[in-house]
Structure 1
């Protein structure tokens, strides 16, 4: 994660300007936008880190408030690697929860705020993200948000985990991001896991990415259906399996995969 930040708030606000200045002094690349879908949509490439400065309470009966907040919520929901931090008092923060899910809020800084402490916390967040770059990268694709968060919680100590909640979001993510393994839900609405797998394997840039399927079905017919796919997927993981079993399967896969690559390099020398 680079040090790009999307700072949301009134462009005429003195405090928003002061926060921007402090972030720039701390070598953050600050992108400014009003808290509206029109303003945010003007940004070609959104940062992963969002900071929203609240200066009033939001009204659930106000059409503009609802539209803008639900748009922001969708940006975080559709790319679970994005982080949203809020700056405001308790009532202001509470007022937007009718449109922004609490699970999509990474943290809250209460006003009055110490801007220097804000930059320190954000730098720590960035440092943790940057350290993850040294780890193997795993993309988890599942339409169940609880399952996504469970897998992330299980794997993030050892691996860098990215999450998407649909097959099309997986394809979009892979168009601009490299991963070492995909954990793919077999049963998803709109586009099935099998169809997503076919799309991944049909594209030159993604065809060689290993894929393990996640499924809740353990009957022989379902297992054979998954394993009959061409090319054969790396594994078939049950969602009911324990954390230890899932991690063991992934660890063994990477150990074997890395050994095969090392052997090929040694033979070529």
Structure 2
């Protein structure tokens, strides 16, 4: 399904045109997309030329890019109703959230960049929703119903989503349904997250289901205790929609 409303080049914005940004441009050319590159200074000086030819912006965040210098790009996105893909490390993205709103950000992709996932995001934006691939199924397990419903609202358009508010409900749900991933609150009451993981691993049917922990804590000792359980990842509950979707897309992309 082609999205006829999206036209123009993919404009890559970074502090300089280096090895990785040239690789992104080369890959986009291979699959038929026009590209242009601009530095932060060019974004400021030559907005007319850049804006008139842009369908989508991609910000490749390098270590020497100051978020405060990106306000011009922020204003351009608002004026032209264009979207932005951010490629950065998690720490940098935390700062970028202070500059760009969730409505401006199409996707966040973590460095090092998965080029196939990047191209997939661009294709979906220009050509419309993917229709052939069956959506993955994710079970959210959290006793905080407000938070669980928030995560559900973020995921429901891209995934089949189940919800359970306790360990007992989670096990019961997984007995009746298959899941490609479990997003698990670490600190559940009665039967906590680690205990549920042990129960899942002890069963031949559920033992292979990957688990990502959701936690509100970031202390070193706590993080190490989470890592010892060998989840596929652990996420702080302060994570926002774009970052969570980016993490999930990267995970499922690596699963093939």
- Give TM class, smaller chain: 0.3 to 0.5
**TM-score of the two chains, using structure 2 as the length reference:** 0.48
**TM-score of the two chains, using structure 1 as the length reference:** 0.45
Q: Which has the higher contact order (CA 8 A, sep 6+)?
A: 2
Larger Rg: 1
